[in-house]
């Protein structure tokens, strides 16, 4: 297409949302290859391909420099790069784990609106976060096209505030990429714009490990720069392009010129016809559809050299309060089974910052929307968090922290009633034991119900321990007065030793 030609958007393709949203598209660089290199760091400097059957499904950037590309036949890749190291990538389990970690991090830290696309891409709607931030003059990373606006672009210049929003979005995208790099170990590319299709398209402009922002007045330039076929538009895959072809539409130009009626005849569905027609002009009103409930919810703040316990505790308390507010705002009624504290310590000797996290089983919290929820949850959490802090920072006089974070994980649905408290607790108990990082709830109870596993019991918060003991006492009383005996599901049934 002619890059200088400004595309006129037909009236029925005009966006109903305008440029009101801010969307970030995140894509992991050579995803499978990075997972392999993380597990086996000596592969980093070698040309590496990930093989499925006789195809190199992806390769690292060392191999790409030698001409190897994604979905190339193994034989061809070997010719281009005789030293190519090939690993088998047919077992997707490890890739899925890393993929979940990225989505989880984005959901828990940046926005509840995260939509996964395949294993290594995520759309994140950061509009709310952007609204809450102060304006910035800086764009993080690259800007698509020239910053100097040509006459035509000046005409297209938008005054709805979208330039400012995508600038802030670019800062958020950079924070996302840094967090993924630091916590998951992967480098990523990001695209920032006001809709999904443009964010995805612009993100691939600079690869690897870079990000690009698209202002609204450059959108036409990006669309015009695409290769001619309809497949250049994300969302139009092989099946759809075959369908379009059967209706006489092969190029992007054909698609732009096709009327809605033609597209409706091809797709037999007016919604799809309209979405596809709009996509061809870079207009995309489809929402970021959350891909499942977050597995964790966290909040972190970089701090300037916290080096006394009192300051650290005040910061942890403030973070915990904000986190509880986020938990209430989640509105799905779930409560966390585990709380995790993260610190980043500055090591004077090595001049390096190191992250460390510890977690503990959560105490029972009051009902989520009760008046006392925040205050009493804080009062219950703080002793635990202080204990975790003391474990990670044992020398109270000699430390220097550059970051503090609190997160909830291990979410469970929790309804009222005894049956549900047990289902809420069971995974917590398991998790606390498996991690080995849970704080042992100190207990003065020497005697335990015979069916209860002491390790499981020790890993529970004091309230739960008391409930188990009270329940046991109750049962003993019931047994000693047989007239009152009745079969009931109790909390202890769930913590029994395996027979
Ligand atoms: P991509 O994001 O397409 O590729 P990539 O992450 O390897 O490289 P890039 O730096 O260009 O983003 O796909 C993600 C992973 O999906 C990729 O690592 C391997 C896998 N994959 C397949 O298994 N089959 C396929 O046809 C494609 C395209 C990818
Ligand atoms: Mg990728």
Output the pLDDT for position 459. Answer: 58
Output the pLDDT for position 434. Answer: 26
For 142-158, the pLDDT digits (tens) are 999 976 666 666 666 78
Atom number of ligand 1 nearest to Cα 52: 23
Q: Which of 5-9, 336-340, 413-417, 425-429 has the highest mean pLDDT?
A: 336-340
CA of 247 to the centre of ligand 1 (A): 30
CA of 252 to the centre of ligand 2 (A): 24
Atom number of ligand 1 nearest to Cα 89: 23
Does residue 476 have a pLDDT over 70? no
The mean per-residue pLDDT over the stretch 297-321 comes to 91
CA of 18 to the centre of ligand 2 (A): 29
Atom number of ligand 1 nearest to Cα 208: 10
Active-site positions? 121
Which ligand lies nearest to the CA atom of residue 50 in the structure? 1
The mean per-residue pLDDT over the stretch 187-192 comes to 98
- Ligand 1 pocket test: pick from 28, 55, 58 the residue with the most ligand atoms within 8 Å of its Cβ: 58
Give the chain's mean pLDDT: 84
Does residue 490 have a pLDDT over 50? no
Does residue 99 have a pLDDT over 50? yes
Output the pLDDT for position 481. Answer: 47
- Ligand 1 pocket test: pick from 57, 94, 117 the residue with the most ligand atoms within 8 Å of its Cβ: 57
CA of 28 to the centre of ligand 1 (A): 9
The 3 state secondary structure assigned to the chain is CCCCCCCCCCHHHCCCCCCCCCEEEEEECCHHHHHHHHHCHHHCCCCEEEEECCEEEEECHHHHHCCCCCCEEHHHHHHHCCCCEEEECCCCHHHHHHHHHHHHHHHHHCCCCEEEECCCEEEEECHHHHHCCCCCCCCCCEECCCCCCCHHHHHHCCCCCHHHHHHHHHHHHHHHHHHHHHHCCCCEEEEEECCHHHHHHHHCCCCCCCEEECCHHHHHHHHHCCCCEHHHCCCCCHHHHHHHHHCCCCEHHHHHHCCHHHHHHHHCCHHHHHHHHHHCCCCCCCCCCCCCCCCEEEEEEEEEEECCHHHHHHHHHHHHHHHHHHHHHHCCCEEEEEEEEEEEEEECCCCEEEEEEEEEECCCCCCCCCCCHHHHHHHHHHHHHHHHHHHHCCCCCCCCEEEEEEEEEEEEECCCCHHHHHHHHHHHHHHHHHHCCCCCCCCCCCCCCCCECHHHHHCCCHHHHHHHHHHHHHHHHHHHCHHHCCCCCCHHHHCECCC
Output the pLDDT for position 423. Answer: 33
The mean per-residue pLDDT over the stretch 256-272 comes to 93
Q: Which of 250-259, 320-329, 379-388, 481-490 has the lowest mean pLDDT?
A: 481-490
Cβ < 5 A residues, ion ligand 2:
27-28, 31, 120
Which ligand lies nearest to the CA atom of residue 27 in the structure? 2
Which ligand lies nearest to the CA atom of residue 209 in the structure? 1
For 458-468, the pLDDT digits (tens) are 656 565 666 66
Pocket of ligand 1 (CB under 6 A): 27-32, 57-58, 70-71, 118-120, 207-208
Does residue 14 have a pLDDT over 50? yes
The mean per-residue pLDDT over the stretch 237-263 comes to 94
Q: Which of 105-119, 188-202, 374-388, 424-438 has the lowest mean pLDDT?
A: 424-438
pLDDT band for 443, please (50, 70, 90 cuts).
very low
Does residue 7 have a pLDDT over 70? no
For 20-67, the pLDDT digits (tens) are 999 999 999 999 999 999 999 999 999 999 999 899 999 999 999 999
């Amino acid at each position: 297409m002619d890059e200088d030609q400004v595309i006129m958007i037909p009236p029925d393709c005009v966006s109903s949302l305008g440029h009101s949203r801010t969307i970030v598209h995140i894509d992991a660089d050579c995803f499978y290859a990075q997972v392999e290199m993380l597990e086996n760091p000596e592969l980093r400097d070698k040309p590496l391909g990930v093989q499925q059957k006789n195809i190199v499904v992806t390769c690292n950037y060392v191999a790409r420099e030698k001409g190897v590309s994604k979905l190339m036949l193994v034989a061809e890749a070997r010719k281009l790069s005789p030293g190519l190291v090939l690993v088998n990538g047919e077992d997707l389990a490890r890739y899925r784990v890393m993929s979940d970690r990225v989505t989880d991090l984005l959901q828990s830290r940046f926005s509840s609106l995260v939509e996964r696309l395949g294993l290594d891409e995520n759309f994140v709607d950061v509009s709310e976060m952007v609204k809450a931030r102060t304006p910035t003059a800086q764009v993080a990373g690259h800007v698509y096209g020239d910053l100097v606006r040509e006459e035509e672009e000046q005409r297209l210049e938008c005054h709805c505030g979208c330039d400012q929003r995508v600038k802030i979005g670019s800062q958020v995208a950079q924070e996302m990429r840094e967090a993924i790099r630091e916590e998951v170990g992967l480098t990523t590319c990001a695209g920032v714009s006001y809709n999904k299709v443009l964010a995805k398209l612009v993100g691939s402009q600079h690869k690897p490990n870079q990000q690009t922002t698209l202002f609204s007045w450059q959108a036409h330039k990006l669309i015009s720069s695409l290769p001619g076929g309809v497949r250049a538009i994300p969302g139009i895959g092989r099946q759809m392009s075959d369908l379009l072809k059967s209706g006489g539409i092969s190029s992007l130009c054909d698609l732009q010129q096709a009327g809605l009626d033609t597209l409706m005849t091809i797709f037999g569905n007016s919604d799809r016809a309209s979405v596809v027609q709009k996509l061809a002009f870079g207009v995309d009103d489809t929402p970021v559809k959350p891909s499942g409930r977050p597995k964790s919810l966290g909040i972190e703040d970089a701090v300037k050299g916290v080096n006394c316990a009192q300051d650290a505790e005040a910061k942890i308390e403030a973070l915990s309060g904000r986190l509880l507010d986020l938990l209430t705002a989640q509105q799905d009624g779930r409560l966390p089974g585990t709380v995790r504290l993260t610190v980043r310590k500055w090591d004077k000797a090595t001049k390096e910052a190191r992250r460390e996290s510890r977690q503990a089983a959560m105490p029972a919290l009051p009902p989520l929307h009760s008046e006392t929820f925040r205050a009493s949850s804080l009062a219950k959490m703080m002793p635990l968090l202080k204990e975790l802090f003391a474990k990670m920072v044992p020398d109270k006089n000699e430390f220097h922290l550059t970051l503090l974070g609190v997160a909830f994980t291990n979410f469970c649905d929790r309804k009222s009633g005894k049956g549900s408290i047990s289902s809420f607790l069971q995974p917590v108990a398991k998790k606390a034991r498996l991690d080995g990082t849970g704080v042992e709830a100190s207990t003065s109870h020497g005697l335990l119900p015979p069916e209860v596993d002491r390790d499981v019991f020790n890993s529970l918060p004091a309230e739960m321990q008391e409930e188990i003991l009270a329940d046991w006492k109750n049962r003993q009383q019931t047994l000693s007065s047989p007239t009152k005996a009745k079969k009931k599901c109790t909390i202890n049934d769930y913590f029994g030793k395996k027979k």
